[in-house]
Amino acid sequence: MNVSTVMDDNILSLHTISKTFVGLKAVSDVSFNVASGSLTALIGPNGAGKTTLFALISGFIKPDSGKVIYKGEDITGHPPFDNASKGLTRTFQIVQPFAGQTVLENVAVGAHLHHSKRSHALEYAQHVIEKMGLQTHTHKQSGELTIAFRKRLELAKALATKPQLILLDEVLAGLNPREIQEMIPIVKSLVNEGITVLMIEHVMQAVMNLAEKVFVLDHGSLIAEGTPVEVTQNELVIEAYLGKGTAARLKGYGAKSASLPESNDSLRSNG
Amino acid sequence: MKDIKLIVLFVALTASLPLITSSGVMLNFVVMALYATLLAQSWNILGGYSGQFSFGNAVFFGTGAYVQAIAQMQFGANAWVALLFCIAASALVGLFVGSVSFRYGLKGSYFALVTLAMAEIFRILSLSVSFTGAGVGLMLPLNNTFLGMQFVQKSGYVWLLLGLVTCALLLTTYIKHSKLGAYMQAVRDNEDAGRALGINPFKVKLVAILLCASLMGAGGGVYVQLFQYIDPGIAYGPQSSVEALVAAIVGGIGTLWGPVVGATALLLMSELTRNLFGQIPGINMVIYGFVLVFIVLFAPSGLTELGVSIRSLVFKKTISNSTSVPLDDLDSKPGEKL
C-alpha cells in the first residue's frame, strides 16, 4: 500500500478491461484512473456498458482481459465480498433491498462487515440511517418505502460497510426534481467524508453539479474524458447521444438551434 | 431478553409434564411432538433462515440413525457417546452435500432436487452394503438403562428430547440475534446485495447446512433409541424429510416458534385423523399434503404469523396509529440535515 501511495494517488486504475458476452462486446479495452477522494462520473447512452463495467470492477463478473488495480493491488476477478471487506462496494441501479426486513435490519447487514456484535452493528446502522435522512423509516419494511427512500436505503446499506471507494449506479434515476435536489447533498457529503465516489449517472444536472471528472462510454469503449464542461463540448460525445453528424449540424445552425438540454451553455460557446 | 424468557417458560412447562401426568397416551404425544419439533427446527435453520429449501433432510436423519445404531452394535460404544458420533457424522454429510451443491451455486428447486437425489443415493447404498444390515435393517438390543439411553418410562424420552429441542431453540435464538443470522437472512433475501456488502454466501450456506444436518442427525439418533429399529426405508425414505419441512412451513418458516407450533399442530391432526380413518394406511401423509396446500395458499407465513395478523386485525387501530408517519416528517428535507 505504501508503494501505491508513493507511485500515484489513484485509488482505482483500470488497464484495458474487456468483456464479451455471446457475440456482443460489452466493454472493450477500457482504461482509466480514479483519483483518491474524487467524485468521478461515468456517463454514456443506454447500453454503453456502464453497468457491466461496474460489475467488472466490483467483481460480480470476471473480465476476459485487462486488470483492475485497487489501492495498488491487483483485484481482477476477486469476488465482490473480498472487495467489500477491502473497502470497495457498489449500489445497484435496480435497488436490491433485503425484502421482508426492516430498514434497520437492511443497513445492519452492511454494518456487520466491521461490527461483529449485533448491538454494535445496530448502533452503527442507526447512525448511518440518520445520516441518510431515513430515521422516520427505521422500523419500516424495506418494501414499504417510496422509490426515493429505497435509493437512500441502497446507499445506506453500502455506506454501512465503511467503504473507501463506492460505485453508485444511477442513484438519481427515477427521482423527481425535488428528490434529486435532496439527494445531491447526500452524495456530496460522501466525498466530504473522504470516500471516493464513482457514479453512473444520466441526470446531467447532477453530473455538471457534482463531478470533478467525467468518463464517457459508448458501445463499450471510452470515447472521452475530462471536466463536465469539456466532455459536453466533445463532438464524439454529442454524436454518441444525438446521432452521427449532429455535432456538425449544431455548429452549422449556431447558437439558436443548440438543443442539448443540459449543456446549452457549453454548446453555444462552442458554436 | 424476551425469547430466552419464553424458552425458559416452555422448557419448565414441558419438563414438568411427566410429573403431572403419567398417562402413556399423553406422554407419547409429547415425545412425538418434541421429536417432530427437533426435525422442523433443523429444517428451519437451513430453509427458514437461509432460504435453502431441502427436500432431502432424510440424508442427515438416516446417517444419524445408522451411526447411532452401528456405533453401539458393532463398536460397543455407549449410547451417549454414539449420539455424539451420530451428530458428527451427519454434520460431515451436511458439509459434503453443501459443498457439492453450493459451490456450483445451486439454488431454489435445483438445490431441492439435489438433496432429494442425495437421500435416494444414500437409501440405495444402505440397501446394498452389509454393515447397515441391508434390507433387513438393524435391531438395537434392548438396554433399558440411563447409560443405554433407553427408558422404560416415557418421561426419560421427554427429557432427552426436550434437552435437544432446547439446544435447537437456543441455537435459533442465537441466529436471530447475531451476525450469522443477519448474514443468513441476507443470503435468503438477496444474495447479490449481500455479496456487495461483504458476505460470502457459500460460507454462510455451509454453516447453515452444517447446523441443520447436526440437529437432523440428532433426531435420527433419538429415533433409533426410541424405536430400536432402523432400515433403509425409514432412514433415507421421504417420511422424515417431509415431516421436517411441512411442520416448519405450517408453523411459520424463519421464526423461532413456528416449528414448535407447526409440529404440534400437525401431530395433533394426524392423531385425530388416525382415530377417524384408522383403516387407511398412510392417510396422515395425504392430510399433510392438503394442509400444506392450504397453508401455502391462505397463510403463507404460517400459523404463528396467522396469529399475529389476527391480533393486529383486532387491535388494528392502535397499530396503525403507532406506525403512521407524521406528515411534516415527509416534508422535511433530509439533505439539509447533513
A162 burial class (0-12, 13-18, 19+ CB within 10 angstroms)?
middle
Across the A/B interface, how many CB contacts are shorter than 8 Å?
107
* Closest by Cβ to A182, choosing from B189, B199, B334: B334
Beta pairing class for A88-90 and A10-21 = unpaired
Optimal mutation site among A94, A98, A155, interface B, most CBs of chain B within 10 A? A98
The interface pTM score, or ipTM, of the predicted complex is 0.85
Candidate from A139-153, B115-129, B292-306 with smallest mean pLDDT: B292-306
Tell me the chain B residues in contact with residue A110 when contact means C-beta distances shorter than 8 Å.
197-198
Beta pairing class for A196-200 and A39-43 = parallel
Name the residue with higher pLDDT: A48 or B306.
A48
**pLDDT band at residue A8, thresholds of 50, 70 and 90?**
low
Percent of chain A whose pLDDT exceeds 90:
72
| Helix/strand/coil for B326 | coil
Task: Quote the CA–CA distance of B79 and A155 in Å, as a whole number.
Answer: 54
Q: To the nearest whole angstrom, how far is the Cα of B56 from the nearest Cα of chain A? A: 26
pLDDT at A146: 92
Name the residue with higher pLDDT: B294 or A102.
A102
**B94 pLDDT higher than 80:** yes
Interchain proximity B198–A181, CB inside 8 Å? no
Amino acid at B32: M
Tell me the chain A residues in contact with residue B192 when contact means C-beta distances shorter than 8 Å.
60, 92, 96
Which residues have a Cβ under 8 Å from the Cβ of A222 and sit 6 or more positions away?
A: A30, A31, A32, A215, A216
Tell me the chain B residues in contact with residue A57 when contact means C-beta distances shorter than 8 Å.
none
Per-residue cell: A29: 479495452
Q: Which chain B residue shows the shortest CA-CA distance from A112? A: B179
Q: To the nearest whole angstrom, how far is the Cα of A251 from the nearest Cα of chain B? A: 39
pLDDT at A55: 95
For residue A39, the number of C-alpha atoms closer than 13 Å in the C-beta half-sphere is 21
Per-residue cell: B157: 424420552
**pLDDT band at residue B293, thresholds of 50, 70 and 90?**
confident
Tell me the angle at which helices A235-242 and A246-253 cross, rounded to the nearest 10 degrees.
Answer: 110
Q: To the nearest whole angstrom, how far is the Cα of B84 from the nearest Cα of chain A? A: 30
Tell me the chain A residues in contact with residue B330 when contact means C-beta distances shorter than 8 Å.
136
Q: To the nearest whole angstrom, how far is the Cα of A127 from the nearest Cα of chain B? A: 12
The predicted-structure confidence for B231-249, as pLDDT tens digits, reads as follows 999 999 998 999 999 999 9
**A82 pLDDT higher than 90:** yes
Interchain proximity A110–B197, CB inside 8 Å? yes
Four-residue CA torsion sign, A136, A138, A139, A141: positive
Average pLDDT on B129-153 reads: 85
Q: Which chain A residue shows the shortest CA-CA distance from B198? A: A81
CA dihedral A125, A131, A134, A139 (to 10 degrees): 20
Four-residue CA torsion sign, A114, A120, A123, A125: positive
Task: Quote the CA–CA distance of B226 and B233 in Å, as a whole number.
Answer: 17
Name the residue with higher pLDDT: A68 or A6.
A68
Helices (DSSP H) in chain B: which residue ranges?
2-20, 24-43, 58-73, 79-103, 108-128, 154-176, 179-189, 191-196, 201-227, 232-236, 238-251, 258-276, 283-298, 302-314, 316-323, 327-331, 334-337
pLDDT at A263: 45
Domains of chain B: 2-245 (1.10.3470)
**B193 pLDDT higher than 90:** yes
Task: Quote the CA–CA distance of B121 and B115 in Å, as a whole number.
Answer: 10
Task: Quote the CA–CA distance of B226 and B214 in Å, as a whole number.
Answer: 18
Beta pairing class for A24-35 and A39-43 = unpaired
Candidate from A185-199, A253-267, B109-123 with smallest mean pLDDT: A253-267
Q: To the nearest whole angstrom, how far is the Cα of A4 from the nearest Cα of chain B? A: 24
Interchain proximity B338–A131, CB inside 8 Å? yes
The answer to whether residues B208 and B50 touch, using CB atoms and an 8 Å cutoff, is: yes
What does the H/E/C string look like for chain A?
CHHHHHHCCEEEEEEEEEEEECCEEEEEEEEEEEECCCEEEEECCCCCCHHHHHHHHHCCCCCCEEEEEECCEECCCCCHHHHHHCCEEECCCCCCCCCCCEHHHHHHHHHCCCCCCHHHHHHHHHHHHHHCCCHHHCCCEHHHCCHHHHHHHHHHHHHCCCCCEEEEECCCCCCCHHHHHHHHHHHHHHHHCCCEEEEECCCHHHHHHHCCEEEEEECCEEEEEECHHHHHHCHHHHHHHHCCCHHHHHHHHCHHHCCCHHHHHHHHHHC
Optimal mutation site among B197, B325, B330, interface A, most CBs of chain A within 10 A? B197
CA-only gyration radius of chain A, Å: 19
**pLDDT band at residue A24, thresholds of 50, 70 and 90?**
confident
Average pLDDT on A242-251 reads: 75
Average pLDDT on A71-77 reads: 93
| Helix/strand/coil for B254 | coil
Interchain proximity A161–B198, CB inside 8 Å? yes
* Closest by Cβ to A85, choosing from B190, B198, B329: B198
Candidate from A115-124, A171-180, B276-285 with smallest mean pLDDT: B276-285
Mean pLDDT of chain A: 87
pLDDT at A247: 73
**pLDDT band at residue A270, thresholds of 50, 70 and 90?**
very low
Percent of chain B whose pLDDT exceeds 70:
93
The predicted-structure confidence for A39-61, as pLDDT tens digits, reads as follows 999 999 888 999 999 999 999 99
Candidate from A93-102, A255-264, B104-113, B178-187 with smallest mean pLDDT: A255-264
The answer to whether residues A231 and A225 touch, using CB atoms and an 8 Å cutoff, is: yes
Task: Quote the CA–CA distance of B334 and B336 in Å, as a whole number.
Answer: 5
Scanning the structure block, which residue is given the C-alpha cell 427429557? B159
Long-range contact set of residues B7-15: C-beta below 8 Å, sequence gap at least 24:
B7/B166, B7/B169, B7/B170, B7/B173, B10/B169, B10/B260, B11/B162, B11/B166, B14/B158, B14/B162, B15/B158, B15/B159, B15/B162
**B106 pLDDT higher than 70:** yes
**B329 pLDDT higher than 60:** no
The answer to whether residues B150 and B225 touch, using CB atoms and an 8 Å cutoff, is: yes
* Closest by Cβ to A185, choosing from B192, B198, B335: B335
Candidate from A13-22, A26-35, A227-236, B219-228 with smallest mean pLDDT: A227-236
Candidate from B12-26, B43-57, B268-282, B302-316 with smallest mean pLDDT: B302-316
Other beta carbons within 10 angstroms of residue B89's beta carbon come to 23
**B317 pLDDT higher than 70:** no
Mean pLDDT of chain B: 87
Interchain proximity B182–A118, CB inside 8 Å? yes
Average pLDDT on A19-33 reads: 91
- What is the distance, to the nearest Å, from the Cα of residue A75 to the centroid of all Cα atoms in its chain? 19
Interchain proximity B190–A98, CB inside 8 Å? yes
pLDDT at A1: 41
B-facing residues of A in 59-88 (CB < 8 A) are 60, 79-81, 84-85
**pLDDT band at residue A6, thresholds of 50, 70 and 90?**
very low
pLDDT at A254: 57
**pLDDT band at residue A226, thresholds of 50, 70 and 90?**
very high
Q: To the nearest whole angstrom, how far is the Cα of B179 from the nearest Cα of chain A? A: 6
* Closest by Cβ to B196, choosing from A84, A139, A185: A84
Phi, psi of A99 (to 5 degrees): -60, 145
Interchain proximity B197–A161, CB inside 8 Å? yes
pLDDT at A251: 73
Optimal mutation site among A58, A61, A81, A167, interface B, most CBs of chain B within 10 A? A81
Scanning the structure block, which residue is given the C-alpha cell 484495458? A16
* Closest by Cβ to A96, choosing from B190, B326, B338: B190
Across-strand partners of A68? A14
Average pLDDT on B202-225 reads: 96
Task: Quote the CA–CA distance of A16 and A13 in Å, as a whole number.
Answer: 10
The predicted-structure confidence for A106-123, as pLDDT tens digits, reads as follows 999 999 999 999 999 999
Scanning the structure block, which residue is given the C-alpha cell 494517488? A9
* Closest by Cβ to B198, choosing from A108, A113, A131: A113
Tell me the chain B residues in contact with residue A140 when contact means C-beta distances shorter than 8 Å.
323
Q: To the nearest whole angstrom, how far is the Cα of A244 from the nearest Cα of chain B? A: 38
**Minimal CA–CA distance to A158: which of B204, B198, B200?**
B198
Domains of chain A: 2-233 (3.40.50.300), 244-271 (no CATH)
**A28 pLDDT higher than 50:** yes
Q: Which chain B residue shows the shortest CA-CA distance from A181? A: B335
**A266 pLDDT higher than 60:** no
Interchain proximity B195–A131, CB inside 8 Å? no
Q: Which chain B residue shows the shortest CA-CA distance from A185? A: B335
For residue B242, the number of C-alpha atoms closer than 13 Å in the C-beta half-sphere is 14
Q: Which chain B residue shows the shortest CA-CA distance from A193? A: B338
Per-residue cell: B87: 451428530
Name the residue with higher pLDDT: A252 or A33.
A33
Q: To the nearest whole angstrom, how far is the Cα of A242 from the nearest Cα of chain B? A: 34
Tell me the chain B residues in contact with residue A152 when contact means C-beta distances shorter than 8 Å.
334
